[in-house]
Structure 1
Amino acid sequence: MLHQSVAKSFQDRFNHSPLLVRAPGRVNLIGEHTDYNGGFVMPAAIDKEIYFAVGLNGTTTARLYSYDLDQSYETELAEVTRDKTMWANYLKGVVAQFQKRGLTVPGFDCVFGGNVPIGAGLSSSAAVECGLAFALDHLMGTNLDRMELAHMAQKAEHEFAGVKSGLMDQFASLFGRSEHVIMLDCRSLDYEYLPFDTSVCGIVLCNTGVKHSLASSEYNLRRQECEQGVAILQQYYPEVASLRDATLEQLNAHREELGDVVYRRCMYVVQENFRVEAARQHLNDGDLAAFGQEMYASHAGLRDDYEVSCQELDVLVQIAKAQPGVYGSRMMGGGFGGCTINLVAIEHIESFVQKATEEYKRYLGLELETYQTTITGGVDILQPEIVK
């Protein structure tokens, strides 16, 4: 078991017993690029996870080890700064957030490793941030609540990884509940759990295997374009604090002033918020077919108006649409690569995976990696078994 290997690696390397923490990645059924616009999202924590073995070491140094990369890193905790070791930046960013709250982080040892595919849009970075934040909170006895830890992990991403992400990824990793998706209002942070039975309808992720270099620069650009749209609308409608408050009528009334690109970006976000609210109703009604239609519409908006899709994602959605037993499919995550998320009737999963793999190879000459996932609980402590 991976968590046992991580714990054993810790003991072999540091010669003391760790606290063992599990931090899940996440999927998002619908509501893409809405989180930083104060809108609605529908994520769930999944059984692709990162395991942390962490223990205090009685020094003023953090000794970090990436099990997956077989790389070590040390830093004096009084001088935590960003540098070129990207994986360590995520962890150091978390330390910095404790320090900003006036909390002294004692020296600690950390080994982490997992099975969240990197670059697949399953928020491996949020799992890394949340796992360490949760472990340090426990070891330091600071008793911060999960929402506070989510904000700290998000700030770590902003300040040490340079990605201005919304709160959804960190929230989903910390607040996940088995067999439930979460409807999160990213402005008020109100949330509700909606039952989702993965024994009837499976979640299958299809990884394009590509990550176009545009991804992070375009992500930050989309954010700016949305803010630009809000600034224009606010001149006429002071109540529009974010695109969450904007209406289609308002956008259409100022289409010329917004300009084609900003208009389409804003239009997508406003419509996507409607789709998430409709999707909640479909889920409550047990209508997976209607839910799936919202997913297809979401993908079309991401492709045509928000322009964050790519050929590989579009081909996978097209393939899925033609398969029996598929309720819905769309790109998931920031875009320009990563995964599509597909809701597939359990009895059709095997044939869907086979067909999608064949067709992807036929269309684009690319190998397809797929993951069947179940919905799990959020970050928690595992009792480390004694590893000999």
Structure 2
Amino acid sequence: MIKYRSPGRINIIGEHTDYNDGYVFPFAIDKYIYINLEKSEKFEFYSESENKIIIQEKLEKTNTWADYIIGVIKEIEKILHIGIPPFKINISSTLPIGAGLSSSAALEVGIAYGINDILNLNLSRVEIAEIGWKVENEFIGLRCGIMDQYACSLSKKDNAILLDTYTKQFQHIPLKLGEYNFFIINSGVKHELGNSEYNKRRQECEEVLNKLNKKTFRDVNKNDLEKLNGTLFKRAKHVVEENERVLKTVEALKNSNIQEVGKYLFESHESLKNLYEVSCEETDFIVDFLKNNVLGARMVGGGFGGSILVLSKKNEFYNLIDELNKRYHEKFGLNIDYFEVNSANGVEKIGD
């Protein structure tokens, strides 16, 4: 079997901007989906975490985790006008599922990269990212932006990617954090309304554009916000200001102004909570506890649970985490998971 690993990602800032033609600032992390591939007589997909195997002679949708694999194979066949031979594919993971770290994009990108490598299809990393994005949107039915797949495919260790999702131009920005580190705290909750509310936010943003008679959010500015009210005003205000925060964060990082980076993280969370309304009681509790104790923190991912990104000195983070866990357990009956975040390269082959 040939082995590949495809990373999860975190997004420093720029949440719910990627499907609104905005800016995002992600990097791949050293938590992975591991994929072993070999040619076979039938399509055979095995997931260690699910402890389930799916065998098909002809690829058909299953409404299970296997659809991320099936969708990728079908999409490659469609765009290249070829038939993909059957593969035996084993999946394992060190990436927490449901923590908002993009496990689905990691799987899509990893499968596309592995098949591309074995069959010498000459797909570029950008094309591989686009395949994953199409699968998520058209085959799975979750209308996501391109950030996750681009981060999983195109990341470089010790860098973040400033990605313009409107032009699809990107540049690698060195992650020079000095004595600070990023950490992830997993709230341990993922509210079921997440997917439906995610698609609802997309709809609301499309309504904003219709109301303003604009084709893209890149043409929306602060003066336009005066023409909106209620929910649509709140959604548009978040997107416009979050785009500004991404660019300010990049400049702060370039200038080694880490204090400013932390400030923008807290501002982003407040906006996601009050304007975009995608946080939840549990993640708000964690961020509120961290205020005045760390440099910055915000919810990451689609929302309604998942993870919190923290920017802090190591000793300060580890000095407070036990107290946070104690209070969190008292309030919600749950324990948090946490780990230090290290940057990583995008998807890669790790052995034959």
Considering the TM-score relative to the shorter chain, is it more than 0.5? yes
CA deviations 1:135-185 (Å, max 9, x no partner) are: 000111101001111010111112232211111011100111111111100
Retained in 1: the 8 A contact 2:136–2:144?
yes
Identity of aligned residues (%): 35
Q: Which runs of 4+ in 1 moved over 4 A?
A: none
DSSP-derived class of the 1:121 partner = coil
CA deviations 1:290-322 (Å, max 9, x no partner) are: 111111111111001100010001111011113
DSSP-derived class of the 2:28 partner = strand
Q: Where in structure 1 are there 5+ consecutive unaligned residues?
A: 1-17, 235-239
CA deviations 1:303-345 (Å, max 9, x no partner) are: 011000100011110111131xx21100000000000100111
Name 1:3's counterpart in structure 2.
Answer: none
Name 1:94's counterpart in structure 2.
Answer: 72
Name 1:216's counterpart in structure 2.
Answer: 195
CA deviations 1:350-383 (Å, max 9, x no partner) are: 2132232223224433211112120111000002
Name 1:290's counterpart in structure 2.
Answer: 260
Deviates more, 1:62-71 or 1:199-208: 199-208
DSSP-derived class of the 2:233 partner = helix
Q: Where in structure 2 are there 5+ consecutive unaligned residues?
A: none
RMSD over aligned CA atoms reads: 1.3
- Counting only pairs closer than 5 Å after superposition, residues 201-212 of structure 1 correspond to structure 2 as 201-212=180-191
Name 1:71's counterpart in structure 2.
Answer: 52
Which of 17, 21, 24 aligns to 1:38? It is 21
CA separation of 1:361 and 1:199: change in aligned 2, threshold 3 A: farther
Name 1:380's counterpart in structure 2.
Answer: 348
Which of 218, 235, 245 aligns to 1:244? It is 218
Report the AA paired with residue 102 of structure 2.
S
Report the AA paired with residue 251 of structure 1.
L
Retained in 1: the 8 A contact 2:69–2:111?
yes
Name 2:307's counterpart in structure 1.
Answer: 339
DSSP-derived class of the 2:295 partner = strand
1:327 aligns with 2:327: no
Q: Give me the whole-angstrom Cα distance separating, in 2, the residues matched to 1:165 and 1:298.
A: 19
Retained in 1: the 8 A contact 2:194–2:303?
yes
CA separation of 1:299 and 1:277: change in aligned 2, threshold 3 A: same
Name 1:369's counterpart in structure 2.
Answer: 337
Name 1:12's counterpart in structure 2.
Answer: none
Report the AA paired with residue 28 of structure 1.
N
After TM superposition, the score normalised by the length of structure 1 is 0.88
Task: Measure how far apart 1:199 and its partner are.
Answer: 6.7
Q: Give me the whole-angstrom Cα distance separating, in 2, the residues matched to 1:141 and 1:68.
A: 30
1:262 aligns with 2:236: no
Retained in 2: the 8 A contact 1:202–1:349?
no
Retained in 2: the 8 A contact 1:199–1:346?
no
1:170 aligns with 2:149: yes
CA separation of 1:336 and 1:327: change in aligned 2, threshold 3 A: same
DSSP-derived class of the 1:286 partner = coil
After TM superposition, the score normalised by the length of structure 2 is 0.97
1:118 aligns with 2:97: yes
